[in-house]
């Protein structure tokens, strides 16, 4: 249902065409001027993937202030799975913001928060009784998951993995694997975090046939000998690593960890911040392996671009905290909750789970064909609309971040936004909005191929 205000806003400008268009070089003159102001006003520590200033965006197109229309293959880092400014999100946000902007849920509750929690309790894997708490960001939700797991188990230790990314707060920096750029100089870090080997199949030195068993044996041995299984509050893992370069664990690895956690009274937590909300061709990535986590952390795709995150878990774990032990000023803000309900409705009504699987097929087939042509592509991996390529020096597995930079810059100059990732800084990742048309995706992939041809 369109509100009057929304109609007005939509008719004040032409709808944004879903096509790539270069009005100027990228960056254009207006963006170039504005980026000088950015440099002057914001700290150097904030990176910038593409040096343009965005004026508006819809579905899979970003339009900058010079009038360039850029194809979005990043979704704001896996956030706008339902598309930029998705209609149901925008409409619900406008209605919500006109009703009230904030009360604080622990001061005076409202239905949007409760409805998002009900939806997550219903949609996340497992038929057990679940409860959900809402926060503002992925990092805050991961922190809360650990906090709740420690309280419920009365244990200190947290198990994490190589190549993991969980956020930028003090605890989540400690949970994150990669030093530069995330941790360098920002310590000391939170204690009682234990990092385990990860079965990175492309770079695994052992026998590929027994990678799952061998990795599980290593991990369990280390937990038992170096931590003590009875000290473990939680095992935390991304079902597919995000910032770590879209590493897909070998089949059975997640299930093995879950089994170990349940046999030893630890909480098995899936960080689905990047993999969640239809991205991988399932609503949640753990579903592909039939794994049911005790807790699942979601953010990004949950609210179509508004800041919202959640921890959903077994009711008895979630209820362990005393009254007042959990909270926050903005967590589950009514506008963000309205956006989440619009995003969830969009995923269900536009069948975006199936759409992600379709995009995954198109993208995966294209990337594999590209890899057979260009030996600089060492591996294609991912699931659904979460695909990546790892670039190496041809004839070896030596990381090739230089080639990655060149291809990424080429794509940008032609109006295609792609993101990078990976422990070795040599991965190009693809996270298109799930509403991208086949034509637009094909156009973007054509540009990508030109990028490889230009090397």
Binding residues for ligand PLZ (CB under 6 A)? 77, 137-139, 142, 165-168, 238, 242-243, 271, 273-274, 299
* Smallest distance, ligand PLZ to C-beta of residue 238, A: 5
Tokens standing for 179?
């030093």
Tokens standing for 449?
């191929």
389 torsion bin: left (phi>0), alpha (psi -120 to 50), beta (else): beta
* Smallest distance, ligand PLZ to C-beta of residue 190, A: 15
Cβ closest to ligand PLZ, residue 28 vs residue 293: 293
Cβ closest to ligand PLZ, residue 10 vs residue 326: 326
* Smallest distance, ligand PLZ to C-beta of residue 186, A: 13
Tokens standing for 168?
């930028």
Residue with tokens 């007005």: 8
CB 178 within 8 A of CB 165: yes
* Smallest distance, ligand PLZ to C-beta of residue 148, A: 16
Q: ω into residue 410 within 30 of 0, thus cis?
A: no
* Residues contacting residue 234 through CB under 8 Å, at least 6 positions apart: 145, 146, 149, 150, 153, 158, 159, 261, 266, 267, 268, 269, 295
Cβ closest to ligand PLZ, residue 376 vs residue 386: 386
CB 308 within 8 A of CB 136: yes
Cβ closest to ligand PLZ, residue 10 vs residue 190: 190
* Smallest distance, ligand PLZ to C-beta of residue 217, A: 26
Nearest residue to ligand PLZ by CB is 138
* Smallest distance, ligand PLZ to C-beta of residue 54, A: 17
* Smallest distance, ligand PLZ to C-beta of residue 76, A: 10
Cβ closest to ligand PLZ, residue 300 vs residue 414: 300
β partners of residue 391: 377
Cβ closest to ligand PLZ, residue 167 vs residue 305: 167
CB 144 within 8 A of CB 166: no
Cβ closest to ligand PLZ, residue 144 vs residue 274: 274
Over its C-alpha atoms, the chain yields an Rg (Å, rounded) of: 22
Cβ closest to ligand PLZ, residue 138 vs residue 432: 138
Sort 440 into a burial class: Cβ within 10 Å, 0-12 / 13-18 / 19+: buried
The CA–CA distances, whole Å, from 205 to 11, 115, 197, 211, 273 equal: 59, 48, 12, 9, 29
* Smallest distance, ligand PLZ to C-beta of residue 170, A: 13
Tokens standing for 97?
């913001």
């Amino acid at each position: 249902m369109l509100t009057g205000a929304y109609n007005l806003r939509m008719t004040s400008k032409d709808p944004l065409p879903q096509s790539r268009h270069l009005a100027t070089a990228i960056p254009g003159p207006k963006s170039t001027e504005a980026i000088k102001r950015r440099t002057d006003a914001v700290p150097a520590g904030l990176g910038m993937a593409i040096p343009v200033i965005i004026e508006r965006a819809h579905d899979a197109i970003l339009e900058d202030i010079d009038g360039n229309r850029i194809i979005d293959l990043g979704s704001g880092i896996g956030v706008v799975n339902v598309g930029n400014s998705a209609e149901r999100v925008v409409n619900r946000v406008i209605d919500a913001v006109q009703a009230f902007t904030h009360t604080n849920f622990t001061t005076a509750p409202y239905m949007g928060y409760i409805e998002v929690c009900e939806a997550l309790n219903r949609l996340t894997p497992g038929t057990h009784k679940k409860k959900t708490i809402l926060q503002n960001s992925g990092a805050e939700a991961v922190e809360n998951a650990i906090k709740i797991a420690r309280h419920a188990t009365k244990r200190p230790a947290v198990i994490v993995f190589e190549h993991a990314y969980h956020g930028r707060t003090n605890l989540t920096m400690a949970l994150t694997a990669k030093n530069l750029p995330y941790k360098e100089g920002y310590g000391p870090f939170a204690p009682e975090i234990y990092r385990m080997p990860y079965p990175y199949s492309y770079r695994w030195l052992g026998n590929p046939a027994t990678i799952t068993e061998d990795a599980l044996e290593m991990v369990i041995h280390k937990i038992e000998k170096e931590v003590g299984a009875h000290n473990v509050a939680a095992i935390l893992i991304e079902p597919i690593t995000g910032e770590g370069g879209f590493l897909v664990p070998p089949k059975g690895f997640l299930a093995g960890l879950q089994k170990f956690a349940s046999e030893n009274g630890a909480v098995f937590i899936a960080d689905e911040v990047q993999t969640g909300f239809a991205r991988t061709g399932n609503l949640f990535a753990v579903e592909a392996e039939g794994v049911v986590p005790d807790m699942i952390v979601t953010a990004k795709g949950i609210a179509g671009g508004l800041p919202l995150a959640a921890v959903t878990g077994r009711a008895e774990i979630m209820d362990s905290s005393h009254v007042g032990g959990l909270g926050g000023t903005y967590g589950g803000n009514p506008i963000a909750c309205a956006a989440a309900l619009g995003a969830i409705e969009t995923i269900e009504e536009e069948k975006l789970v199936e759409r992600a699987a379709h995009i995954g097929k198109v993208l995966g087939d294209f990337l594999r064909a590209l890899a057979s042509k260009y030996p600089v592509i060492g591996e294609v991996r991912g699931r659904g609309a979460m695909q990546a390529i790892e670039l190496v020096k041809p004839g070896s597995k030596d990381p090739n971040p230089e080639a990655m930079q060149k291809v990424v810059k080429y794509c940008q100059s032609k109006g295609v936004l792609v993101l990078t990732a990976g422990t070795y800084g040599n991965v190009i990742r693809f996270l298109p909005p799930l509403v991208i048309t086949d034509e637009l995706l094909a156009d973007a992939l054509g540009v990508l191929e030109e990028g490889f041809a230009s090397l």
